[in-house]
Structure 1
Amino acid sequence: MTEKLYVLGHPVGHSKSPAMYNAVYEKAGLNWHYGLMDLPTAAEAEAFLAARDFLSINITTPYKPQALAAADSQAASARLAHGANVLVNANGALIAYNTDGQGCVAYLEGAGVSFRGKSVVVCGTGPTSLSILHAVAQAGPAEVILVGRSKDRARDVLRIYVDELGALVGRTVDMPAFKEGHLSFAELYDRVNFKYGSYDTSRQAIAGADIIIDATPLGMNEGDGAPFDPALLSARQTVFDVVYGHGETALAHAARAAGCAFLDGAGMLVGQAVVTVGILRDITGEEALGMPEDELFSLMAAAAGFDLAR
């Protein structure tokens, strides 16, 4: 029997996920097929989730909150992000994860970016932003600043994240870091300085940041501007934009013009996919998926047509 796997979202026609995952499943000799599930409305997405006719799905904009709500159990990564980008069907029970942050940080660190002791700005207040904020915090920065269009919204989102993180730390055995040299949940809760603001009120923080991560969808549509005033950028900064495959975004153009080190979301897509394959290996017990992470990254990047030498 062919196992069915999908990427759920709208729009997803540009997605490289089918090419990446099918390359892995073909090499592993598995009768699994990964396809697109482009559903324009929330009602259609919720009906698809309720049917549970899949082994696993990846979820992109705008259905990460619906995917979380459909799950029977939630990993801390999905709970803290308030959205899931991976659902795995384990004998009829849906388990939710969010691999965006882990994939983002793994890719950036593989590209030579160090978060240790740095000031990091994360743009956006949705599930992708929160997943990245959490993974960045585990990488040991001095401070992480969440910024959005509304200062009140950023404050509320960050307060909920910190409160929920504290509750997890207080009632469970400390959750270790995914990677050696990173912080556990308790360590990041105690050590990392979390701040918030808006694009207008946080101009000094944006200009002073070592690393800026734009986790908003700006750039997916023609005419989208940068989330903040690009005049704040300087050559000493590293800028990362989660958007890929839509031409040069306004932020990418501004960052390159300012002399920043710039990376786009292609590497994060591959990085989170590598994490997802590991989750599927662990849940299904398919030993054929136990390829080294560097091999998986190279295979999936090549299948997507990305030039991402590590």
Structure 2
Amino acid sequence: MDRPETRELAYFLAVAEELHFGRAARRLGMAQPPLSRAIRQLERRIGVPLLLREHHRLTLTEAGRVLAEEAAAVLAAASAAVRRTRRAGRPDPRLVVALKSGGDGDLLPALLAAFPTAPEAVPVEVLLCDVPDRARLLRDGTADVAFLHAPYEDFTDLDTEPLLTERTVAVLPRSHRLADRPRLHPADLADEPTARWQGRPGTGPEVRDLAQLMHLVALGRAVALAPASVRTQLRRDLCCVPVPDAAPTTLVLAWPSRSRSPALAAFVRTAAAVAAGHRPPAGPNG
């Protein structure tokens, strides 16, 4: 069987997402008849029906659902390959590091200071982004490496290097009824709306960055579970209380598993060395 072309996969994915040939054709910037012919030709080449056409209504067959998922992955990988290739061909190579604001465990300043001494070092571009975007930027070829947090991330197709493991603290308003406790247990927070952030589950609102998180907590709309390093960035009206029974958070560097970049390998080695000698700075905990 001939392999489908990426153009055919793009055609089919548009139809699978729209479930309407007319809308898919408009989205692709083409006429509907050639799109319909292309999908029928694809079905003949693969040898199974991909769409059910009943009473002017389209639905995906099981084979169609599988192909839609696979086509999305193939097209995303192709786009990522183009981005990485273009960046590799730049006359001024650089390493792009993605992280959320405050999501480096206080390692990045020392890491950026130490990395230029490595023989393979290249200039580093720091890309600040929202929590959900870090892994996506790795997979789509925009970033080379990212600071992520285990166990709250999806590391599929990524290689990782653990850097720091931090205990968990509860971030509370200073006026909160639990703020004066020396420590808390997860059960103490069972009736509190817990913010959903950094991949953590919760019963409260979802936030995308640390500033949103702190504002929400200060308003009394939620409490938050966070790595202990958050205390260095606390607002004055907030405090941290240790939660020893909660799962710790591990800060990791992550990068695409297919990467063979000498500069990236040197960056990871340097990060591991910096983390090994890291001493968490003191900060307010209320």
What's the TM-score once normalised by structure 1's chain length? 0.32
Q: Which protein has the larger Cα radius of gyration, Structure 1 or Structure 2?
A: 2
Q: Which has the higher contact order (CA 8 A, sep 6+)?
A: 2
Q: Which has the higher helix share?
A: 1
What's the TM-score once normalised by structure 2's chain length? 0.34
